[in-house]
Amino acid sequence: MRSKSAEMKREIYDFVNNWRRIEGLSPSLKAIADHFKVSRTTIYRYLIEMNEQGDLFYDGKVIDTKELNSSNTRLSKAAIVGSIPCGEAVNIEPYIEEYINLPVSLFGDGEFYILRAKGDSMEDAGIHEKDLVVIRKQSVAKIGDIVVALDDEDQNTLKRFGGFDKYHNAILEYMNEAVYPGKTIKMRQLVVQGVAKHIIKSL
């Protein structure tokens, strides 16, 4: 096969790197071809030669570069969907502010969304006003988990799940003893919308 343009190889390499950085996966042949306004066959031939020369890895489907590859760039896309109260439960109309990519190596696998904390009732758990709380979507929780839950009136709140009382009511606990000593919310039915896994905050 006739040797390909070194400049084109660099441009393809940079394009793949940028795509993986943003999307967390390999671009398709079509995406690369459309960007460079050439045929998919041309891009395929470039990738084959670049793979043979060790410039990148290409197996006919996945394209890995030395900087960004499948082992270190797996991402989960999460929506920032507005605020969640850490005080009294209130009715919220979630809206998507933006999407961000969460590295799987740091945040783990799963389906996530991100909420902005409001109020002061979870400060003993390290959650403060305007912190971004990374929530894994799930409908079950264990005692001690910090959950996004619907109360008996279908209102949202972020609290620590404290188990059940003798009447089988679910207990949601405030975590700010200085301001809300011993305060809880008791619910006839616990509806979990997710469990808090990480906090993103400004220093």
Kindly name the residue from 26, 76, 83, 121 that is annotated as catalytic.
121
Phi and psi (nearest 5°) for 30? -65, -40
Distance CA 191, CA 203 (A): 33
How far is 170 from 50, CA to CA, in rounded Å? 59
In the annotation, is 66 catalytic?
Answer: no
Residue 97: CB atoms within 10 Å: 13
**Measured distance between the N- and C-terminal CA atoms of the chain, rounded to whole angstroms:** 55
User: 109 near 171, Cβ under 8 Å?
Assistant: no
Question: For the chain, what's the residue count?
Answer: 203
Spot the catalytic one: 159, 166, 186, 201. 159
Respond yes or no: is residue 71 known to be catalytic: no
**Which residues are CB-contacts of 203 (< 8 A; sequence separation ≥ 6)?**
none
Q: How far apart are CA 98 and CA 115, in angstroms?
A: 11
Catalytic residue numbers, as ranges? 121, 159
